[in-house]
C-alpha cells in the first residue's frame, strides 16, 4: 500500500504503538509490518539505535555501539523521537515528554532496562553507570581525562562488570574489579575459574569475598565493608540494571522490580490491548534473563500476539529459552557459559576461538536479524525453545498460592 493511500485509509487502520526502540521494540515493530492494514509507530528518545551489548567497547574506544535506524528498521515504521511519560489505558493514549500524545489500538511496552539506582552512599554522586549510551559516553570522557596509569575501579562482578574490566585492562588501564562475595554467581565454578584466570592474565585486580561489598563511594576512592579503601581516579558502576517506572507510574501491574506483568502471551494482566517484550516484560512473574538473546524473540512474540488478535485468532504462549551467556574478555576473546532450558549454568563452556567466534559473531548477527525482519517481516524464527516453561509457570503459581492467594490469577 502506498503512503497516500495509507493516509486516506487512516481511519480504517489499526494503530500499533511500540514504546522503546531497542532489540525487542525494533523486532516487534518490523514484524508487525506483515499486515498492510495497520500503522506502526515506534517511540524512542534517540534518533539512532543503540547496540547495547557493545557499550563496553564504546566505553573503551574499541568499538561503536551506534547504528542508524535506517539499517535496522522497516521503512513503513514511523519513528517518533521522544520519551513516553504516561500510558493512559482508559483512553488508549501515550503521552510523551514533548507534550504530544499518540492514540493506539495496541501498545507494545519495550522500554528495556537502565542502570540500577545504587543505595550505597556516594555512589550516585561519584560512580559512573554505563547502562545507556549517554552514560557510557560520560564514563568514556572521564577515562579520557584521566592519566593513562590512573587506577580505575569497576564495581560489579556480573557480566557487564567483567566485560568492562577486561575491555579496559586490554587497552592498558589499571583496573580493579570489585565483585562482592563471588565473581558472577550465575557461572558454573569451572567457568568461573577460567574467567578468573583470564582476568588475572589481563592484569585485572580481583576483589571478592565476604568483605568485598562496597560500603561507600567517595570522589577518589571506593570503601569496602571490611574497611579497605581502593584509591580510584574513575569509578564505574556496573552492579546490575534497574527498570524504568513508566508502567507503575501509569497504574499498570508490575513485578517487584518494575517489569510490566503479563500472561504467557505477553499481554498485560490489566489490559488486553497492552503487551510487553524484552527486559521490561515479566511473563507470569517469571521473567527471562535480561538479555538480547531473550529480547529479539520476545519482541517477535509480542508482535505475533497482536497480529493473531487482529486476525481473530487465539495467541500462543511463549516457548523461548535462554541457553547460554556470552562474556567478552577483551578484544577477540570470550567465554560462552552454556545453560539448561531453565537457565541454570552447566558445567560446559566454550572458550578459545570457538567462544570468541560465538560472541563476536553475535554483534553483527543481532543487527542482521533485525534488518532481515525489516525486509522480510515474519521471517524471524528463534532456535532456542523451552517447552518446560509451562511446568515452571505452574510451579511459580503454586508457590504464589502458598505465599499469597490474592496474587494468583
Ligand atoms: C554494557 C552492556 C553489555 C551487555 N552485554 C550483553 C550481552 O553480551 N548479551 C546479552 O544478551 N545482553 C547483554 N546486555 C544486556 C542487553 O543489552 C539488554 O538485555 C537488552 O538491550 C534488552 O533489550 P530491550 O530491547 O529489552 O531493551 P533496550 O535495548 O534497553 O532498549 C530499550 C529502548 O527503549 C528506550 N526507552 C527507555 N525509556 C523509554 C521511554 N520512556 N520512552 C521511549 N523509549 C524509551 C531506550 O532508550 C532504548 O532505546 C548488555 C548490556 C550492557 C549495558
pLDDT tens sequence across 199-247: 999 999 999 999 999 999 999 999 999 999 999 999 999 998 999 999 9
Exposed e or buried b per residue across 9-34, where buried means at least 16 C-beta atoms within 10 angstroms of its C-beta: eeeebbbbbbbbbbbbbbbbbbbbbb
- 327 in any annotated domain: no
Domain count of the fold of the chain: 2
235 and 251 assigned to the same domain: no
> Percent of the chain scored above 90 by pLDDT?
87
pLDDT of residue 409: 32
Using the predicted structure, report yes or no on whether residue 155 has a pLDDT greater than 60: yes
50 C-alpha to ligand 1 centroid (Å): 8
Helix (H) or strand (E) holding 391: helix 389-403
259 and 294 assigned to the same domain: yes
120 C-alpha to ligand 1 centroid (Å): 24
- 399 in any annotated domain: no
pLDDT of residue 401: 59
Which residues' Cβ are closer than 6 Å to ligand 1? 19-25, 43-45, 50, 52-53, 55-56, 83-84, 110-113, 130-131, 160, 163, 244, 246, 278-280, 290-293, 295, 326
221 and 308 assigned to the same domain: no
- 191 in any annotated domain: yes
Alpha-carbon dihedral 148, 198, 292, 175, rounded to 10 degrees: -30
25 and 60 assigned to the same domain: yes
pLDDT of residue 341: 81
135 and 204 assigned to the same domain: yes
59 neighbors 140 (Cβ within 8 angstroms):
yes
Give the tens place of pLDDT for each residue, 352-403: 999 999 999 999 999 999 999 999 999 999 988 887 888 888 888 777 656 5
- The ligand 1 atom nearest the CA atom of 59: 1
Task: State mean pLDDT over 7-31.
Answer: 88
Which of 239, 258, 285 is the last residue in one of the domains? 239
- 341 in any annotated domain: no
Report the nearest-CA residue for atom 2 of ligand 1.
53
How many Å apart are CA 113 and CA 59, to the nearest integer? 18
- What cell numbers appear for 288 in the block? 527471562
Using the predicted structure, report yes or no on whether residue 71 has a pLDDT greater than 90: yes
How many Å apart are CA 226 and CA 206, to the nearest integer? 15
204 and 284 assigned to the same domain: no
Residue 20 structural domain: 2-113+243-319+362-378
Give the number of other CB atoms < 10 A from CB of residue 49: 25
Which of 196, 219, 239 is the last residue in one of the domains? 239
What is the rounded average pLDDT for all residues in the chain?
93
pLDDT band with cut points at 50, 70 and 90 for residue 186: very high
Which of 220, 239, 258 is the last residue in one of the domains? 239
40: domain CATH number?
A: 3.50.50.60
Burial (0-12, 13-18, 19+ Cβ within 10 Å), 182: middle
pLDDT of residue 173: 97
Amino acid at each position: 500500500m502506498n503512503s497516500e493511500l495509507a493516509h486516506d485509509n487512516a481511519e480504517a487502520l489499526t494503530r500499533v504503538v511500540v514504546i522503546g526502540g531497542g532489540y525487542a521494540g525494533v523486532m516487534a515493530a518490523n514484524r508487525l509490518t506483515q499486515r498492510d492494514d495497520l500503522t506502526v509507530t515506534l517511540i524512542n528518545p534517540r534518533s539512532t539505535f543503540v547496540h547495547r551489548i557493545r557499550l563496553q567497547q564504546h566505553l573503551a574506544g574499541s568499538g561503536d555501539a551506534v547504528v542508524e535506524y535506517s539499517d535496522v528498521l522497516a521503512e513503513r515504521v514511523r519513528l517518533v523521537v521522544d520519551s513516553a511519560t504516561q500510558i493512559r489505558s482508559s483512553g488508549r493514549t501515550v503521552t510523551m515528554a514533548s507534550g504530544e500524545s499518540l492514540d493506539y489500538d495496541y501498545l507494545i511496552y519495550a522500554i528495556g532496562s537502565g542502570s540500577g539506582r545504587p543505595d550505597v552512599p556516594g555512589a550516585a554522586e561519584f560512580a559512573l553507570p554505563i547502562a545507556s549510551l549517554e552514560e557510557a559516553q560520560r564514563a568514556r570522557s572521564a577515562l579520557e581525562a584521566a592519566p593513562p596509569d590512573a587506577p580505575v575501579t569497576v564495581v560489579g562482578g556480573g557480566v557487564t562488570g567483567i566485560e568492562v574490566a577486561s575491555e579496559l585492562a586490554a587497552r592498558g588501564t589499571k583496573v580493579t574489579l570489585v565483585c562482592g562475595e563471588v565473581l558472577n554467581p550465575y557461572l558454573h565454578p569451572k567457568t568461573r575459574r577460567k574467567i578468573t584466570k583470564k582476568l588475572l592474565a589481563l592484569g585485572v585486580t580481583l576483589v571478592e569475598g565476604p568483605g568485598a561489598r562496597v560500603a561507600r563511594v567517595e570522589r577518589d576512592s571506593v570503601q569496602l565493608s571490611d574497611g579497605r579503601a581502593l584509591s580510584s581516579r574513575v569509578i564505574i558502576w556496573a552492579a546490575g540494571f534497574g527498570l524504568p517506572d513508566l508502567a507503575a507510574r501509569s497504574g499498570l501491574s508490575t513485578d517487584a522490580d518494575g517489569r510490566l506483568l503479563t500472561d504467557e502471551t505477553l499481554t498485560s494482566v490489566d489490559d488486553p490491548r497492552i503487551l510487553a517484550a524484552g527486559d521490561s516484560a515479566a511473563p507470569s512473574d517469571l521473567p527471562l534473563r535480561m538479555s538480547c538473546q531473550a529480547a529479539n524473540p520476545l519482541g517477535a512474540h509480542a508482535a505475533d500476539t497482536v497480529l493473531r488478535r487482529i486476525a481473530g485468532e487465539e495467541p500462543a504462549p511463549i516457548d523461548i529459552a535462554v541457553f547460554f551467556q556470552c562474556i567478552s574478555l577483551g578484544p577477540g576473546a570470550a567465554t560462552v557459559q552454556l545453560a539448561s532450558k531453565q537457565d541454570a549454568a552447566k558445567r560446559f563452556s566454550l572458550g578459545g576461538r570457538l567462544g570468541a567466534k560465538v560472541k563476536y559473531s553475535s554483534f553483527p548477527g543481532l543487527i542482521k536479524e533485525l534488518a532481515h525482519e525489516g525486509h522480510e517481516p515474519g521471517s524471524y524464527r528463534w532456535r532456542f525453545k523451552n517447552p518446560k516453561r509451562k511446568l515452571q509457570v505452574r510451579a511459580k503459581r503454586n508457590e504464589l498460592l502458598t505465599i499469597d492467594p490474592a496474587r494468583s490469577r
